[in-house]
Amino acid sequence: MKMPPPDKAKLEALPAVSVNAERLCALIDTAITVVDEETEALQAQKGDELARLSDRKGQALVGLSRWLQLRSPFEGQEFIRQRLEALRLSVERNQRVLQVQIEAVSHVAQMIMRAVEAERSDGTYCQPRPPYGEY
């Protein structure tokens, strides 16, 4: 979800914070872009891009977190709150897609584990495992 650039009039109305607010908006927008790119790559099953995007996402979110820890809060600035809300929604969407991927990998791993166990055993001493998700 690409946000429009911050309203320059609002930034200029806050002279003590304008440079910081502009930098914060840029950091938030970068984080949103990278999180959305990773989500799209997951959905499109572009596994070759995931490592790079995951690294970029981590760098963007750590950079934003560090910046926020060192600066004073931006309370009452609606355009920053809106950008942070857009980032929250983007991260939630990314989390849902990642959870689906994790569940799929877990399911495949369980199937492989059962196949290996079945191949190794003649069935004399093994107890049947409950179906996936029932233990």
Chain position carrying tokens 């990642």: 98
Judge if pTM exceeds 0.75: no
Taking 90 as the threshold, does the pLDDT of residue 56 lie above it? yes
Distance of CA 74 to the CA centre of its chain: 23
pLDDT tops 50 at residue 15: no
Q: What are phi and psi of 87, to 5 degrees?
A: -65, -40
| One-letter amino acid for residue 44 of the chain | A
pLDDT in tens, 62-99: 999 998 888 766 655 788 888 889 999 999 999 999 99
Q: Quick one: tokens of 25?
A: 């908006």
Encode 61-71: b = buried (16+ Cβ within 10 Å), e = exposed: beebeeeeeee
